[in-house]
Structures are given as structure tokens and as C-alpha cells.
Amino acid sequence: MFKLRSVQITRSWARSITSSAILKNQVVKSSCAAGTVLNLKVRKNGDEPVALEDSEYPEWLWEMLDNEKLDAKLKQADLLNWKRREWGRSNRDKIKNNNFITQL
């Protein structure tokens, strides 16, 4: 879980938003309205960042939420790196499964 002041973003929340939008073949929209103060200020000087309209963000930003599309791009661009990621995912899943079984 990532915590930025009062904003909490969890991976499961992000997955639920993207998977529901992908299943419905809808365009993913931002979670906050335009003009909303994001409360992400990292410097003492300067203004708080403010959310923009969805059309003002680049298209690649919305594609970052689609893991299947990113995997397909990586597989086409660099097969070795993709295979390494797949092995990592496989090993991580095996470790999680083994840890779960040992707790029983």
C-alpha cells in the first residue's frame, strides 16, 4: 500500500478499477474531478498539484493501468526481459503458496 499524506492507494483498488473498466470496454477515467487539490505537495515552496481534465493527460497514462497490454508490448519488444518477469511472477506465486500451506 502506498500512503501519500491522506491519500491511500492500494494495488487491489487499482486492479478493481482497471479490471471493471476493461470488462465493460469503457475508457478509464480519473478518480477525482478536475480542479481537485491532490494533496501531493513534496516541496515546501510552490503550489499544491491540482487534477486536470482527463483529456489534458497523455494517452499512455491510461494505458499504464492495463497490465495485459503492457505485457504484450514487453513481449514484442524484449522477449528475454518478458520471460524474466514471468519467471519472477511464477516464483513469487510459488513462494506465497508455500508460505500459505506452511501456516495451515
Per-residue confidence (pLDDT) for residue 62, from 0 to 100? 81
Note down the domain range covering 94: 66-104
Is 45 a residue whose pLDDT tops 50?
yes
| DSSP state for residue 25 in the 8-state scheme | T
Is residue 60 domain-shared with residue 73, that is, in the same domain? no
Per-residue confidence (pLDDT) for residue 24, from 0 to 100? 53
Beta-carbon contacts of residue 104 (< 8 Å; ≥ 6 apart)? none
Q: What three-state secondary structure class fits 39?
A: coil
Higher-scoring residue by pLDDT: 6, 56: 56
Exposure class string for 26-38: b at 16+ Cβ within 10 A, else e? eebeeeeeeeeee
Is 27 a residue whose pLDDT tops 50?
yes
Is residue 23 domain-shared with residue 60, that is, in the same domain? yes
pTM (two decimals): 0.46
Q: Convert the pLDDT of each residue in 48-102 to its tens digit.
A: 888 899 889 888 888 888 888 889 999 999 999 999 999 999 999 999 999 999 9
Residue 7: φ, ψ to 5°: -95, 125
What single-letter amino acid sits at 71? D
**How many structural domains compose the chain?**
2
Is residue 58 domain-shared with residue 82, that is, in the same domain? no
Is residue 19 domain-shared with residue 51, that is, in the same domain? yes
